[in-house]
Chains A and B, each alone.
Chain A
Amino acid sequence: MTETLPVTAGVLDERRLLDAYRTMRTIRMFEERVHEEFATGEIPGFVHLYAGEEASATGVCAHLDERDAISSTHRGHGHCIAKGVDVKAMMAEIYGRATGSCHGKGGSMHIADLSKGMLGANGIVGGGPPLICGAALAAKLQNTGGVGVAFFGDGASNQGTTLEAMNLASVWNVPVVFVAENNGYAEATASSWSVAADSIADRAPAFGMPGVTVDGFDFFAVYEAAGEAVERARAGGGPTLIEVEFTRYFGHFEGDQQTYRTDEVARARAERDCLRSFRARVMDSGLLSAERLDEVDREVALLIDRAVAEAKEAPKPTAADLETDVYISY
C-alpha cells in the first residue's frame, strides 16, 4: 500500500472524508449484520452481499447529487447506501416489511428509491445499463445537468444489454459512467475466463469511450477516476468505462459454499481492505484522528442495531396489499 494520497484527495475536506468513511462503514456493518441475520433463518430469498466492494459505490457516488441517477445489480445494498437510501427502510425491505423501501414487495434484489435517484437493485444480470442510458437521456433532454451511473458486475459485462448500452451511450453522447465491478467471479465463473479481452476496460475504445482500470480497494483511486468521468459526462464529453477490481468477502449469495476459491478472501481482508487502508491513510497524513473514526464506527453500529430492531418490529404487509401498485389506473 502506498502512503501518498492522489492529488484530488487533497480537495476532500474533513467533512467529506468523514462522509466517505461513514458510508463505507455503514455498508460494511449493514452487510455483516445481514450475513449474521440470514444465518438465523429470518431473512429469506437470495441475498448478495457487497462487503469488500464498498470503495466502489462510495468513491463513485461521492461525486453525485440529487440530479444524478444510478442503476444497480442483484448485489445492490452498497449502491443504495452510497446514493443515500434510508438504511432502515432498506433493512425493513430485506425483512419483507410494509415499512420497507418497496413496502416489502421487492426484497434484497429489488430495492429501489426513486426519490434518491436509485433506479433499483436489479435481479436481471445486465438489466441496469440500458435503463441508465435512458436516465441520462432524460437528464440531457431536460437539461438538468444530471448524469447516470450504471454499476454492473464482470459477469454482466458479457451480457448483450450492457454492450448495447455502451454503444448507444456513445452514439447519442449521453452523460453516463459505466462502472464495471470486477470481483473476479460471476457466481463461480472466473472473470479471467469469461471476459475475452485482457480487461473489461480494454473494451472501452471499441465503444468510443475512454476506459480505465482502478484498484477497487482504494477509495481514493476510485474517487479520482470517477471524478474525471463524472465531470466529463456533465460537461457533455460523453461516457466513460471504469473497471474497479476487488474481491467480494462473502459468497456469491448467502448459503454459497464457495468451493471455487480458496484463501483469496482472507488475504484481501488482511492486506487490502478498503476501510483499513482508508483509515491508515487519513490518519498517517494527519487528516483525521483515530478517535473521530472510531466515533463514526460507534454511531454506525448503533444505526444498524436500530435498523434491525425496527425491521423486526415493523408490520408485515397483508393480503389486502397484494393488488396495490400494479397499475396507476386499470
Chain B
Amino acid sequence: MSVITYRQALRETLRAEMHRDEDVFLIGEEIGIFEGSYKITEGLLKEFGERRVRDTPIAEEGFVGTAIGAAMLGLRPVVELMTINFSLLAIDQIVNHAAKIYGMFGGQTSVPMVIRTPGGGGQQLGATHSQNIELFYSFVPGLKVLAPSTPGDAASMLRAAIRDDDPVLFLENLGLYNSKGEVPDDGDQVAEIGRAAVTREGSDITLIGYSRMAVVAQQVAEKLAEDDISVEVVDLRSLRPLDRETIVESVRKTGSAVIAEDDWLTYGIGAEIAATIQEGAFDFLDAPVRRVAMAEVPLPYAKPLETAALPSVDSVITAVKETLNAVGRRVG
C-alpha cells in the first residue's frame, strides 16, 4: 500500500491502462501540452505521444461525438471534460448517441468509452462552474455513472470503467483531487461496477453519500462517535447501476437514514435513494428519511452565500440528530 492523492491515483491508473491496452487513448481540452487543467494527465503526452494523448480545440460536442465514433469501431477512448459543467455542451452526443447506440441498434456495437469529469462547488467559481449534474446522466439507461470518493476507489473504479464495454461517465470532484488515501501497489485492483460500500459500520442510523459527500459522511460519523452515536456510512460509489441491496440492508439494520448529496434536492440523487429505502425497508423505518442537499439556487459567487448554499458537516450532523430525535432517541 502507498498513500497517494486522488489525482495521482487517477494519473497512474490512466498510465497503467495505456500500457496495458494499445486501444486506450485520451481526448480532451488542455490534456496534452498543458498536462490537464487539474494535472491528471501530467507526463502522459511525453510518455505516449500525440497519437494517444490528443488535445482538442474547444468543441465539447464535437470531440465527445468523435470519441463515441472511435469507440464504435473498437477503440477505447477516455475523454476528459474539463468540468461536468461543460458536459452540457456535449449532452446530445452522450444521451442521444453514446447511451442509445448499443440498444437502439439491437446490440450490434458497444461504446466502450469513458468520460472523466470533475463536479463540485465551493471554490467560488460561480453558478456556471459549480454544478453537480451527475443526475442528468444517472437518469439515462444505457449509461453507467461512477463516483469514487477515495484514491483507492478512484484507481480501481477508473480501471473498471476503462475495461468496461459500456459508456461510463466517471465523476471526479474538484474538492477531492488533493485528498490522500491508500492505494495498493500492485495496481491491478478492478472494482466491480455497481457496488456500494459500507465504509463504516454502525447501528444507530445509516448515512448515505457519494463523491465529496461520502467523505463528509465519514467526518460526520467520526464526530458523532464522540457523542456515542453510532453511524453506519454507505458510500454509493456507483450511481448507475445503483446498489439498492446494500442501501436497503443497512437501513433494515439501523432503522433510519439520512442522505447527504451535493446536488439539488428536488428530483436529485437522494430522491431515488429515499424511494429505494421506502420500497425495500419501509417496515424497518423508525423515522422519515431525510435528505441534505445544496440550496435550490444557481450557486452564488460570494463566500457567505456559497457557504450557506452547500451542505456541510454541520448541516448533516443536524439532520442526523433530528432524525434520531424523531426516532425517540434524545441526542440533543
B295 interface contact, C-beta 8 A: yes
A160 interface contact, C-beta 8 A: yes
A316-B302, A319-B308 known; A188-B124 Cβ under 8 A? no
B332 interface contact, C-beta 8 A: no
Chain B, range 266-293, C-beta contacts under 8 Å to A: none
The answer to whether A45 touches B124 (Cβ under 8 A) is yes
B126 interface contact, C-beta 8 A: yes
Interface flags, B33-48, vs A, CB<8A=1, else 0 = 1100100000000000
A186-B58, A326-B296 known; A46-B302 Cβ under 8 A? no
A322-B295, A322-B309 known; A156-B129 Cβ under 8 A? no
A202, chain B: closest CB distance, angstroms: 16
Chain B, range 14-43, C-beta contacts under 8 Å to A: 29-30, 33-34, 37
B59 interface contact, C-beta 8 A: yes
The answer to whether B58 touches A194 (Cβ under 8 A) is yes
Interface segment among A6-14, A58-66, A123-131: the answer is A123-131
Which A-chain residue is minimally distant from B59 (CB atoms)? A158
The answer to whether A187 touches B34 (Cβ under 8 A) is yes
The answer to whether B127 touches A105 (Cβ under 8 A) is yes
Chain A residue contacts of B309, Cβ below 8 A = 322
B304 interface contact, C-beta 8 A: yes
Secondary structure type dominating chain B contacts: loop
B303 interface contact, C-beta 8 A: yes
The answer to whether B301 touches A45 (Cβ under 8 A) is yes
The answer to whether A106 touches B61 (Cβ under 8 A) is no
B64, chain A: closest CB distance, angstroms: 11
Chain B residue contacts of A322, Cβ below 8 A = 295, 297, 300, 305, 308-309
Report how many residues on chain A are interfacial, defined by Cβ distance under 8 Å: 41
The answer to whether A110 touches B57 (Cβ under 8 A) is no
The answer to whether B129 touches A109 (Cβ under 8 A) is yes
The answer to whether B57 touches A158 (Cβ under 8 A) is yes
The answer to whether B125 touches A109 (Cβ under 8 A) is yes
- Cα distance A98–B303 in the bound complex, in angstroms: 11
Which B-chain residue is minimally distant from A105 (CB atoms)? B300
Report how many residues on chain B are interfacial, defined by Cβ distance under 8 Å: 33
The answer to whether A316 touches B86 (Cβ under 8 A) is no
Chain A residue contacts of B125, Cβ below 8 A = 45-46, 107, 109, 123
A125-B58, A189-B29 known; A317-B302 Cβ under 8 A? yes
A96 interface contact, C-beta 8 A: yes
Chain A residue contacts of B304, Cβ below 8 A = 316-319
- Cα distance A44–B303 in the bound complex, in angstroms: 9
The answer to whether B58 touches A107 (Cβ under 8 A) is no
- Residue in A98, A109, A123, A160 whose beta carbon sits within 8 Å of that of B62 in the complex: A160
A18, chain B: closest CB distance, angstroms: 34
Which B-chain residue is minimally distant from A316 (CB atoms)? B304
Residue from A186, A322, A326 having most chain B Cβ neighbours under 10 A: A322
- Cα distance A110–B57 in the bound complex, in angstroms: 23
A197, chain B: closest CB distance, angstroms: 12
- Cα distance A321–B302 in the bound complex, in angstroms: 11
The answer to whether A45 touches B302 (Cβ under 8 A) is no
The answer to whether B126 touches A106 (Cβ under 8 A) is yes
Chain A residue contacts of B308, Cβ below 8 A = 319, 322
The answer to whether A317 touches B305 (Cβ under 8 A) is yes
The answer to whether A44 touches B124 (Cβ under 8 A) is yes
Chain B, range 88-118, C-beta contacts under 8 Å to A: 89
- Cα distance A165–B178 in the bound complex, in angstroms: 40
B98, chain A: closest CB distance, angstroms: 17
The answer to whether A105 touches B305 (Cβ under 8 A) is yes
A313 interface contact, C-beta 8 A: no
A159 interface contact, C-beta 8 A: yes
Chain A residue contacts of B127, Cβ below 8 A = 105-106, 110, 123
Chain B residue contacts of A156, Cβ below 8 A = 58
- Cα distance A106–B301 in the bound complex, in angstroms: 6
- Spell out B's residues near A (CB within 8 Å): 29-30, 33-34, 37, 55, 57-59, 61-62, 85-86, 89, 123-129, 295-298, 300-305, 308-309
Known A124-B85, A317-B300; further 8 A-B contacts with Cβ < 8 A: A46-B129, A102-B301, A107-B124, A109-B128, A110-B126, A122-B128, A194-B58, A322-B297
29 pairs of residues in contact across A and B, judged by CB atoms under 8 Å: A44-B303, A45-B123, A96-B124, A96-B302, A96-B303, A98-B302, A105-B127, A105-B300, A105-B305, A106-B127, A109-B129, A110-B126, A123-B85, A123-B127, A124-B85, A125-B86, A126-B89, A155-B57, A155-B58, A158-B57, A187-B29, A189-B55, A194-B58, A317-B302, A317-B305, A319-B308, A322-B305, A322-B309, A326-B296
Q: Considering the complex of A and B, which 8 residue pairs feature the smallest CB-CB distances, nearest first?
A: A107-B301, A104-B302, A96-B302, A123-B128, A188-B34, A158-B57, A319-B308, A44-B124
